[in-house]
Structure 1
Amino acid sequence: MSYSLLYVDPDESTQTETAATLSDSLADLDPDISTAVSLAEATEALTVDLSVLITEYDLPDGTGFELIKKAQDVCPDAACILYTDADVSQLNTDDLHGAITEYVGKHSVFGDNRLTDLVRTSLTTTPHTDYPKPQTEAERLTALRSYALDDPKLVGSLDRITDLAAAHFEVEIASVNIIDDRSQEFLACHGAAEEWESMHREDSICTFTIVEDADVMTVADVAEDPRFASRSGSLIDMGIRSYMGASLVTASGLPIGTLCVYDNEVRSFSADDEAYLKDLATTAMNLIDAYARTPAMTDDGGAQ
């Protein structure tokens, strides 16, 4: 298994020494250790597969807390360790919601040993995924599982939504998808998507869509996007060179899936395109809500 570490410290002398200590002490795990000296540089270095983030609190252009908040969006499964000279008792951690794994005093007794032990424990006991998760992951999974999504009438209605999306954007493939804890399921499909089977979440583009604040995401070229470049070949084989997806958002603001259109050519999408797809996704979610909340009816129109 590959382990990726990012160590952020504006004191380059301490940074070099600590990075060398980590490399030597964790040699059996063969970690890939990157370093940065500022919030901006560290933000650029964040990746979805980051295993451990170690940061000083005081950075020249911000704070370690700001960096940890950014890491929650990009690599929410990464362990975050504050390795600092700052007085932790004077820091306000209310907004971090338990995101920090541990605090270590940089110059405390056995500080280096404690840091190494924490990193080793984080690498060997914490499960990591190759995709981001919403901060409301547990709540959204509970919401998802409250719906009965196997009603043929619901699927038929959603099929019409995918037909409309495909026609409007002049693409051959569209789908309504459900993002479960480990997989993406195709609930309603147009075109070649009808032949697709469920896929692992780490292979899904849509798992990135549901963490977008705007509830819509576009990818002009999967081969050029660093999140998907490594698996762009398989995506292109499926007819996905460009992508636009809008989240299916419950009344409580929880994203349970997506409505997507796919093009086999490189393509950009306008703000109007995004707004239209988002409106269609809202309609799809309204249909899911309606079918989930409407009692089963008898043939004569009466409720059972």
Structure 2
Amino acid sequence: MKRIDFSKLRKGDILLTTSTHPQSKAIRTFTKSDISHAMLYVANGSVMDSTGEGVHARNLQRQTYDDDCAIYAYRPKATIDPKTINQIVDYVRSETGAPYATLDAMRSPFKPERKSSAAQFCSRLVARAYANAGFPLTDNPDYTTPADLQRSDRLQSIPDVVLHVTAEEKAELEAGDSVKGMREVTNDLLERVRAILPVIRVLNDIYPFLLANPSFDAAIAEAHRASGFLDYWKVEMARHPYRYDPVEMVRFYQSTAQKDELLEYCRTTLEDDAANAFAHWQVNLDACAALLEMKPLETFRLNRDLYATLCFNHERRVKTAHMLVSVYGDRAGT
């Protein structure tokens, strides 16, 4: 078994993979390549992709692949400024929950001239993200295949992005994937909202709709509550309480045999914070606060409170990580 070494990756990098699923084999056959899936790296060990579940985030640390499955990573040959990279990442985040374009995905190897839908599939999502930022990777972003990305002359390969894992490590890595749970509650929220408002395509469609149609606020607010979307942050805190409390962090450090790994987690947390990997939470908080001033709707209040909590907890996590590195960083393994 193997997994992707995300320590080699930067925000905006493209990952091309495959699996043993029959659908993956069909895609490889039609595109004459050894890959069938595309993902965009958005930082902090997280990627965004489009599958039958819709557009969602995934945790690379929790994803493993059979040894005979191809894995590649690519980065633009040209230097792209941070603002443009953020545009690329912001695009895929804005598509969270977008439905999967099954028929368009099947048509993509044949490059039809017909108008494409707003729905996504894996390589379309990546190609559209780059094209939206003014950096097209292929001639036809709407019908780009993973193989088209692999063959793009605007991308270069990133070497040595694969780590081999044992069966025991695989079981440990795949246990307790909180990102998977977040996908599930997000889809539950969208299903509830779409049952009321079929016009909603992605999460970001909810806010402008409510501004124009505030009479739906109570029903949409209840969908948020019932889905578990507003409370899912508690899962991470319950699983790793020491990450948010300096005293608990020191106790955990002193009791664990994996001191180096814990310090590495803390250093990575600080690096991600310095790279603004979680800045989108503050952006969402500011947006929800502004919406609430425009119209005092319950849905806006619930989301403002959610993002305020996420920002507060992230600040606690960063401060806790900084404390441990400051105190124990030069005593790794002791």
Higher fraction of helix = 2
Scaled by the length of structure 2, the TM-score of the pair is: 0.25
Higher fraction of strand = 1
Larger Rg: 1
